[in-house]
Amino acid sequence: MKIPKSDPTQNAATPVPVLDGADPLQIFSSWMDAAVEAEPADANAMTLATVDETGMPDSRMVLMKSADERGVVFYTNIGSRKGCHLTANPKASLSFHWKSLLRQIRIQGHVETVSDAEADAYFKSRDRRSRIGAWASQQSQPLHGRLELERRVAKFAAKHAIGEIPRPPFWSGYRVVPVRFEFWRNGAFRLHERLVFERADPGQAWQKSRLYP
């Protein structure tokens, strides 16, 4: 496998005024807005890392669906691999990387499920086919051929052919409540900028510090 070489003098990050002396949620919101404008697709894609019962870390890409002062929300099948991990150990880390902006954000926090009202509202906003798919997929379970999945999709499409499709009881959202933010911005010659906000528990004041690149 060939690794492309990079020129450290190219693509130095453009300064972002809000980076210094700001609340981490303000920086997060500002960077996300910039990513939505700059990234060709899925600016809200993030790596979600969890830990299984043996302590083995596991990561995958998911889509952030909302974010506010309470935390960052994504949705999934509760019985999925990540759902089982979070039930046993409700802590997670998230990473956003925007190549076009030469920035990344890392978040660590405690995890809680969203309210039924939040989950219902988001599920209702999804495309009808996606809602059928949520019922049909036994996420993370063994699949004995594509035909099996297609039959389940057809089954639930027929069952919910008329009227609203209710949210499955095994499908909901998780909120990562941050206790740590790290904002990384590319710098020439690998002298990157790293700004960290930490707090012991949600509700406490953020403590800001900088790290060597």
Phi-psi region of 76 (alpha: psi -120 to 50; beta: other; left: phi over 0): beta
Q: Per 3-state DSSP, what percentage of the chain is helix, strand, and coil (rounded to 5)?
A: 30, 30, 40
Q: What was the pLDDT predicted at 179?
A: 98
Q: Provide the token pair at 96.
A: 């956003």
Q: What was the pLDDT predicted at 14?
A: 46
175: how many CB neighbours lie within 10 A of its CB? Answer: 21
**Domain at 17-127+169-211, CATH class:** mainly beta
Mean pLDDT by 10 residues, the chain (213 residues): 51 49 88 94 97 96 97 97 97 97 97 98 96 95 94 94 95 98 94 96 92 95
Each domain of the chain, given as residue ranges in start order, spans: 17-127+169-211
- Annotate 130-195 with DSSP letters as a single string: HHHHHHH--TTS----HHHHHHHHHHHHHHTSSS--PPPTTEEEEEEEEEEEEEEE--GGG--EEE
Q: What was the pLDDT predicted at 203?
A: 86
Q: Provide the token pair at 168.
A: 């499955």
Give pTM, 2 decimals.
0.89
> Catalytic residue numbers?
190
